[in-house]
Amino acid sequence: MPGFADRLNGIGISASAAMTDKASALKAEGMKIVSLSSGEPDFPTPEHVVDAAIAAARAGDTKYPPQDGKPALKKAVQGKFQRENHLDYALDEILVANGAKQIIYDAMMATINPGDEVVLPTPSWISYADIARLAGASIVSVPCPAEGGFRLSAAALEAAITPKTKWLVLNFPGNPTGACCPRADMEAIAAVLLKHPQVWIMTDDIYEHLIYDGFTFCTIAEVEPRLKDRVLTVNGVSKAYAMTGWRVGYCGGPRALIAAMNNMQGQSTSGINTLAQAAAVAALNGTQDFLKDRAAEYQARRDLVVSLLNAIPGVQCHTPQGAFYVYPDISGCMGKTSAGGRLIATDADFVMALLEEQQVASVQGAAYGMSPFFRISYATGTDTLREGCRRIAAFVDGLK
């Protein structure tokens, strides 16, 4: 058989996707799986958004779109950045893509050369590191421990930057921890970055509207305008508007970077689905009132899950201020043996035994760069969360 590209060495299927697929396979076999592994809102896409897509289809908006996004959507994105983030981007400083993941891919593939370094505060979303490696970069991880709220320290960031650093990736509120970045912390991070003009800064703001306890969101180009010509502000409609399947991401950034990314996109997917673009216009330009109601529901779910998990001996769960994940510490479970006879030597052992013995799907902390933890998504109904936590408690109680 002919060989495969070396660039794929070490690049695997996303752990969260793999666990979700395994859970689906077990469901198909008749098992009653409680799936807490997928970062996907359980709310429906708003009706007016769906109606906009239907209207676009009936109006014949079904031809090839502009590669960088239709003007109506780029204007909606421009308005969103001005309205919510106090950022002014010209239309040729905005790019639309097939989800925020493609934005990240376009950016790294358009800028990274072999030998470059990408700084990642960890724990971090799985795909940042894999995309960076695919582009030829080395990963420099900056641990953000639980005792500090999984927040990035300016001093730790300073120590991680070298002359080879090409990108810093920020994700607040973050996946997998739900950590947020207060404005004072962001100002300290910005002060470090002002000293390193060779570094591009990517801020993934996809969970911007999922914040709790009165927290105020900020993004780095807003906090420090002097960095704006090096910042790529990434967002999308998937999480806030429950539009994961529509695949619409967008970004604002320096004109030259956007042009390079658009060139990269032209060699992969070209423009994105016209009907999804019409839906995204309706999402960004329409009423935003429901966002606070949904955030309040997520906060109630968070409070429930954190309280139930912290009642389990051997599990410690930090209370996140954003996103829809918790990232419990399970160091108290390491070295024990499950009721089914599996030695729990790692968090990967823990989540696999939990799935096999109690039919709860979650994701191991090792996938995000910090162990021994595991990630639970609370983007699902209260009854499911209660049952999932009951089964986790039973599993931990069975460890000897």
Last residue of a domain, one of 285, 317, 347: 285
Tell me the pLDDT tens digit for each residue of 350-384.
Answer: 999 999 999 999 999 999 999 999 999 999 999 99
Closest CA to 353 of 395, 397, 389, 305: 395
Mean pLDDT for the stretch of residues 149-163: 98
Exposure of 77 by Cβ count < 10 A (0-12 exposed, 13-18 middle, 19+ buried)? buried
d(Cα 134, Cα 111) in Å, to the nearest integer? 12
- Closest of 225, 145, 161, 150 to residue 187, by C-alpha: 225
Residue 268 shares a structural domain with residue 298: no
List residues bridging with 234 in a β-sheet: 204, 251
Same domain, 35 and 53: no
Looking at the 3D structure of the chain, how many domains does it have?
A: 2
**100 shares its domain with 216:** yes
d(CA 180, CA 174): 7
CATH number of the domain where residue 220 is located: 3.40.640.10
**CA distances for 196 relative to 143, 159, 191, 200, 351, angstroms:** 20, 12, 10, 9, 40
Kindly state whether residues 66 and 171 are assigned to the same domain.
Answer: yes
Do 33 and 68 have their domain in common? Answer: no
Q: What percent of the chain has pLDDT over 70?
A: 100
User: Rounded mean pLDDT of the chain?
Assistant: 96
* Within-domain flag for 1: no
Residues 52 and 40 in one domain: no
In which domain, by residue range, is 205 found?
A: 47-285
Residue 12: is its pLDDT beyond 80? no
Same domain, 148 and 217: yes
Q: Are residues 308 and 196 in the same domain?
A: no
Tell me the C-alpha distance between 149 and 310, whole Å.
16
CATH code of the domain covering residue 345: 3.90.1150.10
- pLDDT at residue 6 in the model: 83
Q: Which of 285, 304, 325 lies at the terminal end of a domain, its last residue?
A: 285
Distances (CA, A) of 134 to 251, 258, 341: 21, 20, 38
Contact call for residues 116 and 136 (beta carbons, < 8 A): yes
Distance CA 347, CA 355 (A): 12
Report the alpha-carbon distance of residue 252 to residue 236 in Å, rounded.
11
Whether residue 210 contacts residue 241, with contact meaning beta carbons closer than 8 Å, is answered with: no
Please tell me the predicted confidence (pLDDT) of residue 28.
84
pTM for the structure as a whole: 0.95
Q: Quick one: 219 and 326 in the same domain?
A: no
**Residues 144, 24 share a domain:** no
The mean per-residue pLDDT over the stretch 105-112 comes to 98
CA atoms within 13 A on the CB side of 398: 18
Same domain for 205 and 344, yes or no, is no
Q: Per the domain annotation, does 196 fall within a domain?
A: yes
